[in-house]
Amino acid sequence: MYPATALAAIAALAPAILAAPAPYPQAAYTSAPASYVEAPVPAPSDVAVTNVSSHGPYTGPPPTTTGALTTTFLAASIAPLPPNPTATTYPSDGMLHDPEPAPYTPAGGLGTNGTEPVYNVKSDFDFESIAVALYQEWIELDLFHWGLAQFSVEDWEAAGLTATDRSLIEFMADQEVGHATLLTNILGAAAPVQCTYNYPVNSVREFIDFNQKLTRFGESGVYGFINHLDSREAAQLLLQSISTEARQQMIFRQFDGLFPMPVWFEAGVPQSWSWTLLAPYISSCPANQTRLAWQNFPALYIENNPNAARINANRTGFGETIGNSSAAPLNETAVPAVDTCLNNTVVGEDCSPAISQNRSDPLSFPGRQVFFSWEEPGKMVGPNNSYVTTTTAGAPAYVAWVSQLNLTYTGLTITGANTGYTFQPNSSVFANDPAVNGTMFVALTSANITLTAFNLSMINPFVVAGPALYQAG
């Protein structure tokens, strides 16, 4: 339990954060002296959540404001620099090299000097990063509720999901109330609010598959910026939120009949990547909604994305997804009954909901030919069709594969107007850990610059289209 003094200190930070995370319930001390009374600390209120009254594509008037939020540019792109001169000076020999500021407290660290934490944003980067994360929390809150209401009990049970499973999805929706409350309080009065949404889903199985993809880019989008935040305090709370979302993503993979965690590491992607994937599913937002500064790239489509509803996903044909979007769910009806893995009784061919499933035939493999098509820039997307897809890249020449800790490039063969193909790479993070696995990211680029997990956002000026989610495993 947090002591009452600590809770009072956090509450005193308002309005910088407005409300800290809800405290644990106060316990009753039966053995305390009669004179001792623990002061009650009221739990902060949740943000206002309303039932989204409509779903579907935007059909309203043309937007009066378009494009990303912007100001003066200091340069066309961030110039690469060499490592910090002190980056390799620490001996890393297991010994202490500086006086300890207190017993059992090695020197160093950020936010460790006793300064009282203030859980707010401290830069434009902080606000815009947490704002896109809040857009993600809002759509998940609505999507989980929408799916539960959209399909009948018979539909759920035919997909192998029981009342207990549906209760878990409802609890995940409740978690999103907490996440939205937390990020709203960190951002303050200008925090984005709930919008209306458009989901490319026709069945329970497609709903589950869409969720495991949506939570994938939501989770990875936060990993991509969290360690760059100026507000270390906000980063701490956001970490404790996104750790829950990671569990949600794994649960949806289990519901989808996929192996729950086929990778050793989870990838992080730039904010513009997650916003590019998210924006097409937002139909409209209130007129005074806070706008975002992130880029929307032209959409990239994987024409033969492995269909996880098949016994052998390597037989996936073109267009076996629902809708034309970069994170489109599998199309269940595209699979002939003889090829479906749902409720299959053969070992290695079943993809019914389970704690874990192993397949005799993997969803993908090194050397698999992957076909793409992509859009030109200039399309209106996102809330109220008010954002515009853009690119500063040259001609498409490479496919960037982002998974785990790796960025791998393969050559792109152009086959026609905005169409082409490549071959799935055979790369590894460490021995026995194929880098291309799970639900991962691909994008078309004009250059194959060397980047790593911490500076991946420097790829953005070279992105022609994408990202798209590739169902590698």
Residue-wise pLDDT tens digits, 33-87: 444 445 555 566 678 777 687 898 888 888 888 888 888 888 888 888 999 999 9
Contacts 24+ apart (CB under 8 A), 347-354: 349/311, 350/257, 351/256, 351/257, 351/258, 351/308, 351/309, 351/311, 352/160, 352/257, 353/159, 353/160, 353/161, 353/165, 353/254, 353/255, 353/256, 353/257, 354/254, 354/257
Tokens 């595209």 sit on residue: 334
Task: Note whether 468 and 304 are within 8 A (CB).
Answer: no
* Residue 277 one-letter amino acid: L
Q: What is the pLDDT of residue 30?
A: 38
pLDDT(18) > 50: no
Q: What is the pLDDT of residue 339?
A: 93
* Residue 6 confidence class, pLDDT cut points 50, 70, 90: very low
Q: How far apart are CA 340 and CA 349, in angstroms?
A: 9
Lowest mean per-residue pLDDT among 13-22, 333-342, 388-397: 13-22
Q: Which residues pair with 471 in a beta bridge?
A: 439
Rounded to an integer, what is the distance from CA 344 to the centroid of its chain?
31
pLDDT(23) > 90: no
For the full predicted model, state whether its pTM sits above 0.85: yes
pLDDT above 90: percentage of residues in the chain: 80
Q: How far apart are CA 98 and CA 110, in angstroms?
A: 16
Q: What is the pLDDT of residue 40?
A: 58
What integer is the mean pLDDT of 198-219?
A: 97
Tokens of 218: 């939501």
Instruction: State pLDDT tens for residues 399-419.
Output: 999 999 999 999 999 999 999
Average pLDDT over the chain, rounded to whole? 90
Q: What is the pLDDT of residue 60?
A: 86
Task: Note whether 368 and 399 are within 8 A (CB).
Answer: no
Query: Quick check: helix, strand or coil at residue 267?
Result: coil
* Residue 345 confidence class, pLDDT cut points 50, 70, 90: confident
Q: How far apart are CA 329 and CA 342, in angstroms?
A: 16
